[in-house]
Structure 1
Amino acid sequence: MNIVNKLTARHLRKNKRRTLITIIGVIISVAMIMAVSTLGVSFLDLMKRQTIADTGEWHVQYKNITKEQLGAIAKDESTDKLVIANDRGYSLIQGSENRTKPYIFIKEFNKQGYKQFPVELSKGRLPKAANEVVISEELLKDAKLDYNLGDKLTVEIGQRILEGAEAPFGQNDPLQQLEDGTKETLQIEETNSFTIVGIMKRPVWEQTWSPGYTVINYIDSTLLTEKDRFDAIVVVDKVNGSLYSKVNKIKKENDIDKVVYNEELLRYYGVTDNDSLRLTLFSLAGIIMVVIIVGSVALIYNAFAISVSERARHLGMLSSVGATKKQKRNSVFFEGFLIGLISIPIGVIAGVGGIAATFWFINKYLHGALGESGEKLAVIVTPLSLLIACLISILTIFISTYLPARKASKISAIDAIRQTQDIKLSGKTVKTSKLVRKLFGIEAEIGLKNVKRNKKRYKVTVFSLVISIVLYLSVSFFTNSISKSAELSQDGVNFDISVSSNDMSPLDLEPFTHLKNVTETSIQTRIQINAAIPEDALPDLLVEKIKEEDLQIEDGKYEYYVNLYGLDDSSFRTYAETVGTDLKSFTDSEQPTAIMVDKTSYQDFDSGKFIETKAILHAKPGDKIELVLKNYETMEHVALPELKIGALTDEVPMGVTPAGLGGLNIIVPQKTMDELINGNAEVKEMVEHYLYLNSSDPIATQKEIEDTTSSNVYVYNVFKQKQNEQQLIMFLSVFTFGFIALISLISIANIFNTISTSISLRKREFAMLKSVGLTPKGFNKMIYYESIFYGVKALLYGLPISGVVMFLMYWSLQNTFEYGFILPWMNILFVIVAIFIIVSSAMLYSIQKIKKENIIDGLIQENI
């Protein structure tokens, strides 16, 4: 170690407070980078484990292949594990008491299939021969069948078909019944007997609405013939972007008709064949990482810049005894090296520790919200994430020390010893407007002159404030955008169970609302009708669609489809309160009045985008809509009473999904619905009745409903799908609040550090002002005005820059999601208020520390 580096190390030890502040600043920055990388990797790991637990571990499925094609797939170098699977078919259960699940569904796997798909045995063993099966516990409980290990199971196996349907139905299709009462039938293909060798828990991949209880059978690859058809399910050796090209090559070379990808699992590996989604993910990740790096550089740069300012006299003394520019520059780089050597390991540990504590809290207090499989968040630190965090931290420290190092190399001995390098005086430099003194007094003028006089310190403080504003608003907008995108990409499922029937009235559905575990309900009457909307009220996206598809506009109007919903009194009251409108304007109005959902969201399957737009333009409360019922057989229109718009909203009630482009959702009280359809037999025939409910135990509630209803009632349980949505929203909420809290704390610490150090370095200046007669009241007033000047200048720069960053994030999302750009006004208002509070608090805190100091001591103080 050379003499300059020894002096640098000694200086760091001597100025322990400044060194500690710098180290803490770097630790916070490194911890933030490490926490973000760990959070991302850990979340992806959770989603992988969750998906594997729910649907099995597989990447590609080759459908309906032959034995020869199977051989080619097995020999391919990219194939790591190979599962042979087959949906053998359904068998009707004789004497079953569960009307909504009348079948046994036989699923065949080879030995590898038992490992790749989650099968949890409760008794017995897995099948080893073609005549052995494992049955589900649910088959014994719900269907009330009495089977034991070793019993023979003789079944007639076939396919579910429905007149007019193109292909047989599978496990993801509920029981089929047309409006005219036509039901699905079972087309028998074979009869077979099996020995029951095991009993398993219901497989998690079996949906609650699946019509068959899963039974697993063994498929022996050695017994396959050239006539057999089955599926090959593959786990590839390396999951990367080349997967799709490799699979397409196998498909083409072996003349395979159909290939299915496990899109959900592949997405969490960062692999997708959707170019717009890939561009969106990388764009967002790039933008947020740049924001984090800029924030980190600003935080560390301020620490080193202040350190160099305080070391100015020390560096000047080195210069006076012969230190070269290179030695002085290297002195600052060496300081950065020492700080990094201490801070980076601690920062990495702190970042991982912070994420571990967060995950512990989530796993402990939100148990059960992480999915049916019980997977928990686990801290995953990969060598790559650790290396990236360390490299970004090293790069950040280097960038942060570069400018202070250049500044240090240029400090002359005389300027450094006199400490005049930060203050440049001229009449033009400190000139202020006479209006400032006239409006705010001499204290404001002195404060503004102080700001102009200490240009570099002033810029460092403003820069800190600007970075804090940009960080907070960018991260807030980022997390809000991700939540919005997640909302658009989901189906809008906000209920656990739906109950529907063509034969039951709302009164018949009402008893189900009082079941034991039911927590929230909504009874609805629905009818799909039409409304002619003027051409000038059509949104731009619909106008484009009309032109592309050459759709008809008659008499200057385009025909929308309208989903008209009638809600029971309690549900409509709750919905009106949510919308923020007066219930009486709908219940006491002489003319039928409705709430119109004026936004629509849908997925454009041509582009793959999730789009949100206005349903119709220029709509306002008080407008009228003419409704008609269209008979598509006769093409006749039945006019309905005119409907008045009482309120507009983008909120939908429980159970209502957003309408697509060219559609409207209109919500009315049930009484209004009855008035609209009263006396019209044709309209009454098309009315549908639904009950939507949430339950603390959806499976038990489903069973209660099924046990007390007839076969023409359909129960649709979507709690698992909803649970997955809640998991994503929960994680995004943790990310949002946790990351924003971290950013806010870092920003506040940064501002306090910068301002308190700046105030500390101005002791001599304040002492001089007091010596010429500035009173304590006038002094405080001056500080208040300085705070205002700092805050205003920071907002003038910070808000436009934040706007640009937010728009870039919005632009990156437009590759996959399309919705209007909306500034987060509440967050902006919060930032404006917070900036002035934080700056004022920091300055007052710093002033309190030097308030009682003697004027003489202040005049002779030295910053060493």
Structure 2
Amino acid sequence: MKSYKELTQRYLKANKKRTILTIGGIAISVALIFAIGSLLESLNKRQLNDTIKSNGNYHAAFMDVTSSQAEKLKNSVEVKEAGISRTLGTALIHEDKNNKDTDEWLNNAYVEVKAYEDKTFNIYNVELEKGNYPKDSSEILLPEAVLNIFGKSIGDTIELEIGERYSPTNGVILDNNSYSDDEIIRNTIKKTYTIVGVRKKTFAEGPKTYRGITHLDDTSIYDGHYNVSVIMKKPKHTYDTTKKMAENLNFNKIKLKNGEEGYNIEYNENLLRLIGGSIKENYNASRDRIIVVIIGLVILSTIATIYNSFNISVMERKKEFGTLRSIGATPTQIRSIVFREGFFMASIAIPIGMIVGYFGLLVLLKLLTIFLSTVMNKMELAGIGATITLRLVIITLVISIITVFLSAYIPAKKAGKISPIEAIRNTTDIKVGKLKSGKLSSKLFKAEGYLASRNLRRNKKKFRITIFSIAISIVLFIVFNSFVSMSLKVNNFTARYTPNYSCYFGSSTLSPSEDDIKAIKSFRGVDKVYSKLFSSAIVSVDDNKLNQKADLSNLKDPESNQINLYNSSFVYPGEDGIKELKKNISKGEFDEVSLEKENGVILFQTNISRNAGKSTYVDYTTYDVGDYIKFYYNHDDYNSEKAPEKVKVMGIIEAPFGPFDYKEGGVTMFTTKKVLENIKMDNGGKISSLAIETLDNEDEGLKTYLKDITKKNNGYFNDTKENAREEKQFQIMMQIFLYGFVAVISLISAINIINTITTNVLLRKKELSMLQAVGMTTKDMHKSIYLESLFCTFTAWVYGTIVGAGISYFLYGTASKSVEFKWDAPIEAIFISLIGSIIISLIAGIIPIRKLRKENIIENIRRESI
């Protein structure tokens, strides 16, 4: 042997089983980290693509700037790419005299005409269904629905009267998502365009507004104002950078929607949120903290697993290390041997782990795809796959190397401190001293329990290491269960509900009948029909019913100092909606007789609260079952001396459901038709909208029937089937991923517990054989091993439960900064972890017992190690 370093490979070869187990442990941990990272990369990519598809690929848009300012913005050193656009105006879709099939109902829809330069088409991700992009200002792109309305096709010309939507009563210009009964189109000009292509409608457009896009010619020939959409070089600093840019270019400040003064800049918040540039600091901080905790726990479990292996290896070789020390090896050289072993095994395990993680994820996703396609209505994991990026490889590599180093550090340090004489005599493991007698264990389990209890306590360091390793597994299980539960709760607030078909009815006199709804339900494949009766109201909240966590100062009446929730509403959700409502009630109940007798409502009182750039889902009010809510029908009633009306809270839901508008600045009150009649809020029984969910086997005639119903009742029809399908499969995939993640964590935890207990017993072959030699029966020895496993696991479960519940509460505190919800103690996870750990500990006891049965007592007594 030329160098002591050669001992590393000699030992690893001589102990092939232990080497393979350690490499396997490292590889599994690396595979888990790599698979998590790969899936997160894929999910983030999918969300980015979806957001870009619906909202556009830009970070901010400077609104209403001059042509010279637009050019300066495009050439800014902070801007990677920019596109200029101009809003030309809005045209009312009216009856075309040359198309007799066009009905009066179309008057409720609009075409907003915008002009884009070439780059802007890419920035806003304008997708063609057919045809070409416009090349000059005489050509236009329109959605298929508009062509159908006017009876036009590609190549035809279309004349539009373009102006601005204006509400004379309110004195304001209306945007896409605002509507007024008295609105008009003013300052109109007639424009004739040639239709050159058909574009897809996106979610960014309002439900009653279609977008027509023409070409923006050279901006230098225009006077007037433009919009500049920019992709920033440093998107995480978009908010600060754009404000500095506006300040440097002397932009005028305007009064923003929140009442404050600021620059007229719109932000693609959905995109910025995904890349860590959200203005909602609480969202960024919450996300980062949760990711750190989750990854930290995975790393900690990895350290515990690998540490056990290295520590056991050092304990086995104390005599060997003592011999090396006695012939001149320094502590540094001994530490070097342990570190070399660790990094040698890591050099093999890390590449294997990455490969296993990647292909394991591919197999998992393939199995999920098969499951979704055969069980879940032929769904697929659209846009989700195993992703490899250089960043992911580097992060996994760095985390793995740090993990192996930390895992080997203490055992290496311990090995370097071994005294040659004590190591050769092998007297350091057991120290003479007083131990607790274990009276309770001896009373309950007799001599075997007494022996098991004392065996655990005689080497405190070893006992603590074993407890720590098992406790980490229990902590992991509890925390990840809590994480899944919280993720699903947050998702209930942030997920976008999309029905397959929607029908909107704006007429004050016409709406579908009950027979129409029954006819819709009779079609094959119809799953749910939400028929909504809706009425707005102003809820007046007493101070003692306000949630102090909600910042509602902008809703305070300056004269009376009363907080009024102006965007509140009463909703009858239809028969199917009531069924879903009953499933979501967390307090109280939906009893139709009681509701109609008491004028009762089921209350949803959670919504967005904005404060200092932070947006949080929080309870606006603290109403409870039995409380009365005061409300006014409208502003006139509120401003008069009329007393407010009252309804009684009969139940509370804590999460939104269905296709209902939970408007910011208001609470939503669900009730029956009869109650709406009693309080004169039923709008004459006129249904305002229908939302239809369908299965894959839907009748082909359903869509035609829905179109006929909407046209007959002066409404408009919206087909979002493909969007609903994508959203639904994404939600299902997220749930399967989260629960699958818990399953993987549970498996790793189980392996760690089994490995820890099994190794702990096998290291004591000599001792157990000596007990058998002095008369202990095989049955008694087995019982002692089982009890030792149970005592050890139960102790670890107590510590793991305390720590796991604490981390669960920490995660709750972090997540609740974005969405306020009630913390549920992880009782179910704690109970499952107790039962699971007991079963696993018994299995862990069986493995070494089977090995000991096959071995010779005398040989084990002579043996120095396993």
1:266 is matched by which residue type in structure 2?
Answer: L
Distance 1:863 1:346, change over 3 A: same
Tell me how far 1:758 sits from its aligned partner: 1.4
Tell me how far 1:638 sits from its aligned partner: 7.3
Residue among 458, 470, 481 paired with 2:475: 470
1:246 corresponds to:
241
Correspondence list, 1:719-738, <5 A: 726=728, 729-730=731-732, 732-738=734-740
2:259 corresponds to:
none
Matched, 1:667 2:671: yes
1:29 corresponds to:
29
Tell me how far 1:635 sits from its aligned partner: 3.7
Query: Matched residues in 2 for 1:114 and 1:107: separation?
Result: 11
1:209 corresponds to:
207
Residue among 140, 148, 151 paired with 1:133: 140
Distance 1:362 1:88, change over 3 A: farther
Distance 1:340 1:601, change over 3 A: same
SS at match of 1:108: strand
Say if 1:107 and 1:217, in contact at 8 Å, map to a contact too: yes
Residue among 409, 429, 444 paired with 1:422: 429
Q: Calculate percent identity across the aligned residue pairs.
A: 25
Say if 2:533 and 2:572, in contact at 8 Å, map to a contact too: yes
2:323 corresponds to:
317
Tell me how far 1:331 sits from its aligned partner: 0.9
Residue among 195, 199, 205 paired with 2:197: 199
2:654 corresponds to:
650
1:708 corresponds to:
709
1:221 is matched by which residue type in structure 2?
Answer: D
Residue among 604, 610, 625 paired with 1:604: 610
Give the TM-score, by structure 2 length. Answer: 0.85
Query: Matched residues in 2 for 1:168 and 1:644: separation?
Result: 38
Tell me how far 1:304 sits from its aligned partner: 0.9
Residue among 217, 221, 228 paired with 1:220: 217
SS at match of 1:441: helix
Say if 2:493 and 2:655, in contact at 8 Å, map to a contact too: no
1:474 is matched by which residue type in structure 2?
Answer: V
1:763 corresponds to:
765
Residue among 839, 842, 846 paired with 1:844: 846
Distance 1:103 1:542, change over 3 A: closer
Tell me how far 1:338 sits from its aligned partner: 0.8
Alpha-carbon deviations, 1:3-27, whole Å to 9, x = none? 2221221110111000001101111
Query: Matched residues in 2 for 1:832 and 1:755: separation?
Result: 16
Residue among 399, 406, 412 paired with 1:405: 412
1:115 corresponds to:
122
Distance 1:548 1:616, change over 3 A: same
Query: Matched residues in 2 for 1:580 and 1:80: separation?
Result: 49
Alpha-carbon deviations, 1:492-524, whole Å to 9, x = none? 777863645543376365244445553202334
2:151 corresponds to:
145
Query: Matched residues in 2 for 1:102 and 1:574: separation?
Result: 31
Alpha-carbon deviations, 1:151-204, whole Å to 9, x = none? 43343333333333544444x337x453xxx4x4333532233334x3234243
Tell me how far 1:726 sits from its aligned partner: 4.2
Residue among 375, 386, 396 paired with 2:403: 396
Query: Matched residues in 2 for 1:248 and 1:758: separation?
Result: 62
Correspondence list, 1:744-759, <5 A: 744-759=746-761
Q: Which moved more, 1:300-309 or 1:530-539?
A: 530-539
1:231 corresponds to:
227
Residue among 256, 259, 267 paired with 1:261: 267
In structure 2, list runs of 5 or more residues that go unmatched. Answer: 253-263
Tell me how far 1:377 sits from its aligned partner: 2.5
Say if 1:552 and 1:558, in contact at 8 Å, map to a contact too: no
Query: Matched residues in 2 for 1:835 and 1:242: separation?
Result: 47
Matched, 1:50 2:45: no
Query: Matched residues in 2 for 1:374 and 1:581: separation?
Result: 36
Tell me how far 1:251 sits from its aligned partner: 1.3
Distance 1:442 1:614, change over 3 A: farther
Query: Matched residues in 2 for 1:500 and 1:342: separation?
Result: 66
Tell me how far 1:276 sits from its aligned partner: 2.6
Query: Matched residues in 2 for 1:282 and 1:69: separation?
Result: 37
Residue among 303, 324, 327 paired with 1:297: 303
Distance 1:517 1:634, change over 3 A: farther
Alpha-carbon deviations, 1:713-752, whole Å to 9, x = none? 4656776776676466345324412322222121111111
Correspondence list, 1:96-115, <5 A: 97=102, 99-100=105-106, 102-115=109-122
Say if 2:785 and 2:845, in contact at 8 Å, map to a contact too: yes
Size of the aligned set, in residue pairs, is: 836
SS at match of 2:775: coil
Tell me how far 1:74 sits from its aligned partner: 2.5
Tell me how far 1:400 sits from its aligned partner: 0.8
SS at match of 2:86: strand
Tell me how far 1:209 sits from its aligned partner: 1.7
Alpha-carbon deviations, 1:267-321, whole Å to 9, x = none? 2222223333232232222222322221221121111112222223332332343
1:156 corresponds to:
161
1:173 is matched by which residue type in structure 2?
Answer: N
1:470 is matched by which residue type in structure 2?
Answer: V
Tell me how far 1:656 sits from its aligned partner: 4.7
Say if 1:29 and 1:300, in contact at 8 Å, map to a contact too: no
Residue among 814, 820, 823 paired with 1:821: 823
Tell me how far 1:583 sits from its aligned partner: 8.7
Query: Matched residues in 2 for 1:532 and 1:177: separation?
Result: 24
SS at match of 1:209: coil
Query: Matched residues in 1 for 2:655 and 2:275: separation?
Result: 34
In structure 1, list runs of 5 or more residues that go unmatched. Answer: none
Distance 1:562 1:547, change over 3 A: closer
Say if 2:369 and 2:381, in contact at 8 Å, map to a contact too: no
Distance 1:530 1:210, change over 3 A: closer
1:339 corresponds to:
345
Say if 1:461 and 1:755, in contact at 8 Å, map to a contact too: yes
Tell me how far 1:467 sits from its aligned partner: 0.9
